[in-house]
Structure 1
Amino acid sequence: MTSEDILLAPLHTPPAYAAVVDRLRRAIALGVVLPGERLPSERTLADRLEVSRVTVREALRVLQGEGLLVTRRGSSGSVVAAGATSLDKLGEEYKAEVGEVFEYRMAVETMAARLAAQRGSEDQIAQLLSCQESLAASSDVDSFRRADSEFHLTVAAMSGNMMLRQSVEDARAAAFSWLDLREFRVFHESSIRGHSTIINAISRHDPDEAAAAMAAHIDQAHDEVLAALADTPAPKSGRTRSARTVSR
């Protein structure tokens, strides 16, 4: 890209309803709202998002058309559909993007873990332990998704860097659509182990160890995703490359 491209490339501003669609779709992907749960009312969404109710209504229609939301007879408001994150099927385009998503996670989440070990408070460490308890107690992919997201976003918030926090959210929203299409047990036990190692490193306020622990966790998750996409058994351990050769 040339300097002229940066300055003069055409702008493509999406309509307001598309921004609302993206916000709601992300919330569903991250497990902020789970299948069977009701979204806030149109009025609440419009007030909080600072858009018109017409804009919200159009966004809800789009998500209903995608099968992400349903409206139950005799009730007001929209409910997240069962299997809402199973958007049709995994296409070749998504499979090609998986590597980029995990490279992005590697970059931003390892730095977040490093800063969390330096800056995190005891109250925030207690919050990580609470997330870990929720993850261990999760019995389905939806409760797993919520607990897993809360853990990683808490680590990002502990970094004290809001740009990193947003980047971690972006990366997780991009990565989560494959999860409940595959075997839940593939990710559950390894996530508990990975999170435990990260918590221990952050609790000791060891930045290098925290970054390495997050790197190993993301590496293992990447292996499991690739195995799931290929319908092959997940490997028992992560790749052999070291945390130093792949900074996370």
Structure 2
Amino acid sequence: MSEAFEQRTRADELRDRLLTAVLIGEYLPGSRLPSERELAESLDVARETMRQALRMVTEAGLLEVRRGRGGGYFVTAARIDERSAAAQLLHRRLAEIEDAIDAGSRIQGAICEAAAERRTADDVRILEARLADFVAAASGREKQAADSRLHLAISDAAHIPALADAMLFLDRRVSLSAPQHPWGAIEDQAAMEERATRDHTELVRLIVAGEIAAAGAVARRHAMIDRDLIEQARKRAEATAVDLRGR
């Protein structure tokens, strides 16, 4: 197999990862992607291969390049689910994603159990502040960022770095933007954010109260939000594919 063919094949795989990231709301419209160099390093690929993948997604109309200071690749308002290939893409990656989410939910449960057992007074103060930030954050990108900060604070409160490392490894199998989580389509966000607020509030309460088993159970349930968002995206893409075939 030639080096050029291998590079194209890897670029196609990276294109699929980027398209999936847009589909499931890892990067919402208007979001700036990490730099080409950062993406290449985090995914352990050559910069030229990463550049090819980014070019393909840009040519599909889902990213735009802004020049100058503060520039880079930004997600457009275009909808990937207008293309029937979206359904095939999500179907292809579904088993891999679901496996990572299932494993991640178990590790997240262990992290929250450890946090409920080991949290300090400083941890409690930070967790309550991060929860308040999440509740107050505006819907969409601001709430997504606040969610990441809260989950990182929970990992810190567990005081077991190896668990945090394992969680990040699994998150990266699902999300290019890990530790940032998928946030779903715009039309799904209000219900998802309400659900996340309930889970976060209960989870912080249980960790602060030292209720170890209950904190783990809520954390495992909460991790399934990612799976549900991806399933919603898959169904929407499949419905669009049916509509396109019927035209």
The TM-score bracket by the shorter chain reads 0.5 to 0.7
Q: How far did residue 36 of structure 1 move?
A: 4.5
Judged with a 3 Å threshold, the aligned counterparts in structure 2 of structure 1 residues 219 and 66 are, in CA distance, closer, same or farther, namely closer
Please name the residue that 2:54 is paired with: 63
TM-score, scaled to structure 1: 0.62
CA distance in 2, matches of 1:105, 1:93: 20
Within 5 A, what are the aligned runs for 1:33-72? Answer: 35-37=30-32, 59-60=50-51, 62-67=53-58, 70-72=64-66
Please name the residue that 1:235 is paired with: none
CA distance in 2, matches of 1:121, 1:30: 34
State the SS of the aligned residue for 1:179: coil
State the SS of the aligned residue for 1:210: helix
Given that 2:203 and 2:219 are in contact with CA atoms closer than 8 Å, whether structure 1 keeps it comes out as yes
For residues 32-91 of structure 1, the C-alpha deviation after alignment (integer angstroms, 9 at most, x for no partner) is 99945485797xx6xxx7xxxxx6576456434433764324547524334699798352
Given that 1:113 and 1:210 are in contact with CA atoms closer than 8 Å, whether structure 2 keeps it comes out as yes
Please name the residue that 1:127 is paired with: 126
CA distance in 1, matches of 2:229, 2:75: 26
CA distance in 1, matches of 2:68, 2:229: 42
**1:183 partnered with 2:188:** yes
TM-score, scaled to structure 2: 0.62
Q: Is the helix fraction higher in 1 or 2?
A: 2
Unaligned residue ranges in structure 1 (runs of 5+): 1-13, 50-54, 232-248
Please name the residue that 1:201 is paired with: 206
**Matched letter for residue 97 of structure 1:** E
Q: How far did residue 143 of structure 1 move?
A: 2.0
Q: Percent identity?
A: 16
Judged with a 3 Å threshold, the aligned counterparts in structure 2 of structure 1 residues 65 and 100 are, in CA distance, closer, same or farther, namely same
- Taking only aligned residues, the RMSD between alpha carbons, in angstroms, comes to 4.4
Q: How far did residue 226 of structure 1 move?
A: 3.6
State the SS of the aligned residue for 2:99: helix
Given that 2:66 and 2:74 are in contact with CA atoms closer than 8 Å, whether structure 1 keeps it comes out as no
Please name the residue that 2:92 is paired with: 93
* More RCO (CA 8 Å, sep 6+): 2
Please name the residue that 1:218 is paired with: 223
Please name the residue that 1:78 is paired with: 72
Given that 1:71 and 1:79 are in contact with CA atoms closer than 8 Å, whether structure 2 keeps it comes out as yes
Unaligned residue ranges in structure 2 (runs of 5+): 1-5, 176-180, 237-247
CA distance in 2, matches of 1:205, 1:75: 47
CA distance in 2, matches of 1:161, 1:133: 24
Judged with a 3 Å threshold, the aligned counterparts in structure 2 of structure 1 residues 34 and 133 are, in CA distance, closer, same or farther, namely farther
CA distance in 1, matches of 2:28, 2:183: 17
